[in-house]
Amino acid sequence: MDKHDETRYLFASAIKELIKENPLDKITVTDIVLKAGMTRQTFYRYFKDKYDLVNWYFEKLVLQSFRQMGNGCTLDEALHFKFKFIEKEHAFFKEAFKSNDYNNLIHYDYCCIYDFYKKMIEKKLNQDLDPHLNFLLEMYCRGSIDMTVEWVLKDMHLTIDDLVVLLIEALPAKLKPYLN
């Protein structure tokens, strides 16, 4: 890990500690930098705001699972990896998913997953997505994110295995050949 990532992880560690006591929307950048023992200037060198920090942490640690799909990992394996990480960091993600900010994790998760799947499908098709497939992909991504948020907010009322099976079963038939 390089020095820049070490600094980013210090901020992530600080916000994870703060989130145990306060909702994300009530935590300030000042709180984060004090907890991390860093300066505001250093914080803003790496992040636009606290939501950017949360999104970076999510992408760095969770979306690795989706990148692995491009390296032979199946959708089932990628989803298991993602949900095991979310489960391990449950308190953090529960608060992060509650945020209503314009730059919130729900929106960021959707954008990341949609973009990843879209590129994967377009690569397999060797062309841009047609409007019909794009609609199905948007609908599936929105639904899967909503179900992920519900799973986290309801304290993981389903097992990871059950959640993964249901999300894969919900995949529209026309998308299955490209994602499964």
- CA angle centred on 47, ends 105 and 111, rounded to 5°: 30
Handedness of CA 61, 34, 104, 89 (dihedral sign): positive
d(CA 138, CA 157): 25
Closest by alpha carbon to 121, among 104, 143, 97, 140? 140
pTM summary value: 0.84
pLDDT value at position 148? 95
Q: pLDDT tens digits, residue range 25-54?
A: 999 999 999 999 999 999 999 999 999 999
Q: pLDDT tens digits, residue range 116-156?
A: 899 989 999 999 999 999 999 999 999 999 999 999 999 99
CA distances from 27 to 9, 40, 44, 105, 139 (A): 17, 14, 16, 15, 32
